[in-house]
Structure 1
Amino acid sequence: MKLSNRLIKTIDAVKTSFWFIPVLMVILSVFVAWVLVHVDGVMHSKNASWYNALSALDHETVQTLLSTVAASMITVTSIAFSITIVVLTLASSQFGPRLIRNFMNDPGTQFVLGTFISNFSYCVILLYAMSLASNQDIGFRLGVLWCLASTAFCVLVLIFFIHHVALSIRADHVVNDVYCEIDHTIGQLKGEDSTGNKTALQESERTPAKVQPAFTELSFISATKNGYLQVVNRDSLFKQAVEQGLFVKLKKRPGNLIIEGMILAEIRSNHSLSSQDEHDLTESMVIGSQRTPIQDPEYAIHQLVEVAVRALSPGVNDPYTAITCVDKLTTILCQIAQIDIDQQISCDDNGVRRLEGCPHSFAGLASTAYDQIRQYGISSVAVTIRLIEGLTHLVELRSGSATRQFAQEQLDAIKRLHALQPYQGVDLNDFQCCVESLELSLHQLNAKPE
């Protein structure tokens, strides 16, 4: 089932919020409290034997117990929120403010906060039910048992939360989370859905294009507000183009800066578009106030590059994290190099072109991944050597012309920076060995016939 652009954006906003899962859990706890109060009342009126077999506490003891648990839960909730804010502050200063989104996207933290708040809400509802005059004779045996069980579960959740927080701020864990997000975005570049299968739009790109028919009308879809292009529903655009006999050429891609009045798409047709048609086409493109990694691999790569650059700063001085980022970026570029991202032309069953995207280029994404790390990491021999080794792996595994050209440009840039800040002794020997290995690989690949 295809999701609309607005729904995709809403789901992403909900996933990166601290309120949605806790609110759902609070609603569930209120419902459970209402059900147990009702069951307690029914069992008390029927004088059920199994119900009477449960140990009963007097009203005053139960109220004291519930009040104690409620006070404890709100205290633990405050501590959990405080720890979360500290982690977000640490992540912002050490890994970059853009990484806060990844921490807020963590379902474990959302579940922990929801567990504590929901147990507090349950105790409050049960205390209110006990205060009613009609419930003075009810022992609330099931309600108290549920309270004790949920409180014991909250203790286990607190232990999990402490372990989870300690794990989440590890540099390797953060880098791997960002890498997984980039890998998911690359899957969309491949035209895969959430299960890894090819989408109908991807299959349409395999249909060979025939002679493009002549169109008599030319119109444009313009932006109605400022911001960044966040989502483009190419499936919806392709479907509309096929149904109405249009050819849609996108002028912008997700991540581009959009200014009001800027042309987003060019529409060719044999009839004038109605206002409803233009509205439907415009709705297939969502503009927001900030970039997101939903369909923007460049932004996701920027996140990983930011972690590496901050690790190379004098205040942090953590070359090992930067090396890990280089390894992940090399893996990403190897995946991108095997995708024909320069071609985003979709044809209908008759071979007529209906949709042409505004694709990324391998050189652009690769430069985004390597340029800043190369510039800031030239003083670190280990990072520079790992960059060269990454380029060597890239040209050996993906020997296309674009890959070779990118590797040669990066190698030339590294040599120029090295000339300004030359290495000495063993460092120089290691650097030269890596450079010679990359040059040999490039020479052998360039000597092969295409």
Structure 2
Amino acid sequence: MDAVGWRTFLRRLPERIWFRLALVTALALLLVAVAWGFADLLPDAFAIDFGQGAVSGILQILATSMLAVTTFSLTAMISAYAAAARGTTPRATQLLISDPTSQNALSTFLGTFVFAIVGLVALSANGFGEKGRTVLFLGTLIVIAVVVGTLLRWIHHLTRFGRVPDVIDRVENAATDTMRDYAREPHLGGVAPVAVPDGALTVRAEAAGYVTGVDVAALEAAADAVGVSIHVDALPGSFVGRGSALARVSGAQSVRRDGSDDAESLRDQVCAAFLIEKHRTYEQDPRLGLVALAEIGSRALSPSTNDPGTAVEVLGAIERVLTELLVGEPVDEPRFRRVHVPAVVLDDLLEDAFRPLARDGAPLVEVGLRIQKVLGHLVEIAPSAEDRDALMGMCARAAERSVAGLDNGADVRAVQAAADEVFRLGA
């Protein structure tokens, strides 16, 4: 695993369900170890007789109940993942899997089960004195309090976990975070693209998949070491095949010859800065959140679901996400001046967000009107004429689809009037 892969692994580590399980289990084992090995160092006042079977009885109850609760929790989580994939979009499943509340609940229950089992084994081995049993008993009371609090929170969380509004909120939050970062650094901290000179060294992908991350800092370090410029071709979210161009290097004669050792070393460094995986992620991809929201709305508009209200909610979420882009202020100075990174085109973002809803919601006047209303709001806050032109272009295409899909004259006139209002605002 290269440096980019390790950094990505460490960044995603807290989102892994086994990570929290391992931490809580380690804490449970540590508590038993402290009660066993260090209790004799405590004052004699801790030597309290709670009865021969007090601690073991409680631990047996915990061991029996926590195994059942853990199984129930895992079943509920899997059901929520499946329901979200069926009712919204499979692109939201990764957000549900990384949900901290469900991970904390499962970790607490399994950690408590391990604590109870290890405690019972230690008690059976007669490894505890009076002080040790006292510490174990007090620790058990603390664990019970934590379990009760976690269970209450988990039950409340299950009432909405994986439901359509919950999934929409999660996708919107992930898309908003990514879009806010993108608005601050549309070139990922690098500089705007320029024309690439002839003879530039092309760095090609070694595997097929989605580019999920570009380590611009690593590209800057590689470029600065040999005095070159790097021009990124594959942005996060783009699909590349084996041999597709990831970047091009220009500026130094010693690295332009593909067969030179310097060229091979630089090519390896540049290639290692691109993380290619099988599935898209939300981390650096501002388009994926809009794609996922549009898929949720599009599925709600399918004849089998027929839920235009969800599509209207999705359009509200899309408006809030795009607002972050339009009102965001880019940083004044780029961090990496040797790396040229193209920005995502606003037309592409609008197509990702509105085209599926305009296509599938064409026969529904309420969807067509809400699309025009959202575009009108965005036109009013668009910071440049180019942005307004892109929004009005999307307005015209969406209105054309709505007019073609509607069979009532009043509905057609309403959509056309809404589109005319968007153009008035843009003018």
Q: Same fold (TM over 0.5)?
A: yes
1:22 counterpart = 2:21: yes
Root-mean-square deviation (CA, aligned residues, Å) is: 3.1
What do the CA deviations read for 1:32-63 (whole angstroms, capped 9, x no partner)? 110122233444xxxx44213x34221x4433
1:236 counterpart = 2:218: yes
1:438 counterpart = 2:427: no
CA separation of 1:65 and 1:373: change in aligned 2, threshold 3 A? same
CA separation of 1:376 and 1:51: change in aligned 2, threshold 3 A? same
1:50 counterpart = 2:45: yes
Contact 1:344 1:356 in 2 (8 A): no
CA distance in 2, matches of 1:17, 1:285: 22
1:148 counterpart = 2:141: yes
Q: How does 1:150-299 map to 2 (within 5 A)?
A: 150-191=143-184, 202=189, 205=191, 218-270=200-252, 271-272=254-255, 273-299=262-288
What do the CA deviations read for 1:191-243 (whole angstroms, capped 9, x no partner)? 46xxxxx99x74x749xx9x99x989632211111111111011221232233
CA distance in 2, matches of 1:229, 1:400: 30
Q: How does 1:304-319 map to 2 (within 5 A)?
A: 304-319=293-308
Report how many residues are paired.
419
CA distance in 2, matches of 1:418, 1:188: 34
CA separation of 1:29 and 1:435: change in aligned 2, threshold 3 A? same
CA separation of 1:356 and 1:68: change in aligned 2, threshold 3 A? same
CA distance in 1, matches of 2:130, 2:418: 83
CA distance in 1, matches of 2:309, 2:46: 62
Residue in structure 2 matching 1:76, options 63, 69, 84 = 69
Contact 2:209 2:276 in 1 (8 A): yes
Contact 2:229 2:251 in 1 (8 A): yes
CA distance in 2, matches of 1:149, 1:26: 15
Residue 163 of structure 1: CA displacement? 0.5
What do the CA deviations read for 1:293-328 (whole angstroms, capped 9, x no partner)? 111111121111111111212222222221121122
Instruction: Name the aligned partner's letter for residue 139 of structure 2.
Output: W
CA separation of 1:61 and 1:328: change in aligned 2, threshold 3 A? closer
CA separation of 1:436 and 1:40: change in aligned 2, threshold 3 A? same
CA separation of 1:408 and 1:311: change in aligned 2, threshold 3 A? same
CA separation of 1:250 and 1:82: change in aligned 2, threshold 3 A? same
Q: How does 1:118-137 map to 2 (within 5 A)?
A: 118-135=111-128
Structure 1 alignment gaps of length 5 or more: 193-197, 446-450
Instruction: Name the aligned partner's letter for residue 142 of structure 1.
Output: V
Instruction: Name the aligned partner's letter for residue 305 of structure 1.
Output: A
CA distance in 1, matches of 2:155, 2:335: 53
CA distance in 1, matches of 2:180, 2:242: 31
Q: How does 1:348-387 map to 2 (within 5 A)?
A: 354-387=338-371
1:420 counterpart = 2:404: yes
CA separation of 1:8 and 1:186: change in aligned 2, threshold 3 A? farther
Instruction: Name the aligned partner's letter for residue 382 of structure 1.
Output: E
Contact 1:336 1:362 in 2 (8 A): no
Instruction: Name the aligned partner's letter for residue 20 of structure 2.
Output: I
Structure 1 equivalent of residue 393 of structure 2? 409
Percent of pairs with identical residues: 21
Instruction: Name the aligned partner's letter for residue 115 of structure 1.
Output: T
Instruction: Name the aligned partner's letter for residue 273 of structure 2.
Output: S
Residue in structure 2 matching 1:99, options 77, 92, 103 = 92
Task: Please say which of residues 33-42 and 112-121 is displaced more in the overlay.
Answer: 33-42
SS at match of 1:156: helix
Instruction: Name the aligned partner's letter for residue 396 of structure 1.
Output: E
Contact 2:184 2:328 in 1 (8 A): no
CA separation of 1:137 and 1:361: change in aligned 2, threshold 3 A? closer
1:324 counterpart = 2:313: yes
Residue in structure 1 matching 2:107, options 114, 128, 143 = 114
Residue 252 of structure 1: CA displacement? 1.1
CA separation of 1:7 and 1:183: change in aligned 2, threshold 3 A? farther
Structure 1 equivalent of residue 258 of structure 2? none
CA distance in 2, matches of 1:134, 1:69: 20
Residue 137 of structure 1: CA displacement? 6.9
SS at match of 2:230: strand
What do the CA deviations read for 1:49-86 (whole angstroms, capped 9, x no partner)? 4213x34221x443333222111111111111111111
Structure 2 equivalent of residue 86 of structure 1? 79
CA distance in 2, matches of 1:269, 1:439: 46
SS at match of 1:168: coil
Residue 104 of structure 1: CA displacement? 0.8
CA separation of 1:371 and 1:151: change in aligned 2, threshold 3 A? same
CA separation of 1:371 and 1:301: change in aligned 2, threshold 3 A? same
Contact 2:49 2:130 in 1 (8 A): no
Instruction: Name the aligned partner's letter for residue 176 of structure 1.
Output: D
SS at match of 2:17: coil
1:391 counterpart = 2:386: no
Residue 375 of structure 1: CA displacement? 0.4
Query: Normalising by structure 2, what TM-score?
Result: 0.88
CA distance in 1, matches of 2:305, 2:344: 33
Residue 16 of structure 1: CA displacement? 4.1
